[in-house]
Structure 1
């Protein structure tokens, strides 16, 4: 991918952009929240819509000249509505966190109570961590997964909700490898007269592809990222019923944002169209199959998987039993040197610092986009095990060679 116009103006940035494309082509991107957008999505996000202010919503803007911005945003809305079956969709949030912010602002007052999953057990910063605005504005209590099984304990959640009496319960997670029973969480929310926000940031594409149960029509609000498993334009989305539509829209704009990033909305529109194809459904199925194969390969090498496996796009590995002297940070660094990019991650019952945790998290969306199948992912599991078992220079160099062979067999953005 050339960046000739950038190079004419700024060679330093052009060099960095081309180096990044080379990095992605020649290494395995396995951070579970990352993917490879199509050339069509990239083109849309780099379009002239970056020049256009379009504060407001289609048909009701604060500036003139928005007829094509209206057309693009309405396409994104209509396609998301078809994909997810939602009554109302807002495609303007700049990120999944700002989508969550909009729901909080639409429904809660400062000091209201939120019950959400602890970050070290697979939750997200925007669900109530004290370093985030959510933990600073609201009274947050957090539930946990069962430290022994790695699964959500819905009965324990119900008991905790009855005692805490939250105004909102948040479900949907960043490092939970199992399918979520949205209906059971909705029942808990209704039992304490709380709102239920389902954050599907990680699994938006799996829900769209029909391989994970959907919370749309179950939870009061559904938020998500539009660039992870779904591979659309970078940003966020909010879905809800008509009952809350006006409140959500007002909380997005003008409540939390100014002008929408219309070039990103264009990328969302294109990506949602891609997600409506049979090919995307196959990609979603393959992403899960690949994650299962990766997890089984790691388990065969003696690695302990949180919850014993996966139902979605990621595996979470607890290194404490198999590699007690290796931290997640150590493993992350050695694997990146070998061309395998994933992240150190906290695990249930974490005993180390979150900056150097006890686990690693690996995802298969980007590999699947490149064309990897189960056999490839089993091979990747073998390579990960070799590096974590013995992260010496000769091992890392050998694995790096094998990674490059895998990349050459599954090229990214062509060979030019």
Structure 2
């Protein structure tokens, strides 16, 4: 449906060319400082028309808080967030009255509902993600203030071009390495900031690779075509113990969140598909003391999650985005009545979605972690009202 989360719950609304888009956020803790200025930076990172690499649709995407705050603080009641659609042109999509666009949602929406939005893809448009980003920014603000959580995403691949540090390497028997990921990659996700990411419009932190990516996107745009890409995300300082067995494992929630973003086609966490090439001995993340009475892992092939529960290491994952389906090239395809024809699409479209997808991925990651934190806090608060667990149940005993 259009809602996500259990305790921190977000419901988005709006279509690509309606009057406004936005969301309702329920479950936000009261007493947190919050104004539009806290939300707007991420909205501006997501908005169209940022550079020649994105759609020329000119939207300011100015967010307005409609409810749930007073004097700059959250009330604990539902927060209403709205963004006006200003530069919408429904007439650009008149050809979709006859043709379902190849690989778009026109045909499936029509078969499901018996009616479809007449322009811009309706709810299947990336315009819907405005509400996600707005809500995710609120979640991220709480996580940062309460736990120090840091979430940074960046473009690591465009078409066939991929950052060298993303090419994972087998490093068997080397306990000083970062497992299957090379040291350069782990150093990157350990220190990367959003300022680093935004230093280039393609949002790739490697300058040499960024140039190649930009050339690729511009080339596809000039030929009225499109290309896909990969967004990598890291979550640092995530609390230990988040995630629920068995169906609501933290990586399962992350996969659900990421695969709900328009145009996504793949998700992998930690070693991902590359981990299938390893033996158990090579892949296992060995434990050592963290120096504070707890444990940490020498490697992080698990991607910060074991048994579906966060272990305190960096959570890192990759999301694959397909080439945008709407292109301004003539395409031989069928009309709704089955008659063969040629679709000549107009309108304004991204030649590659990944530069603008970065804040969307960050937002969905924040929503997952925020909801998991609140679920775990509810459990912890309930336990505190009971008598202490007998010490023998907590003791570590050899078998």
Alignment TM-score > 0.5, same fold: no
More helix by share: 1
Normalised by the size of structure 1, how large is the TM-score?
Answer: 0.23
Higher Rg = 2
TM-score, normalisation: structure 2: 0.24
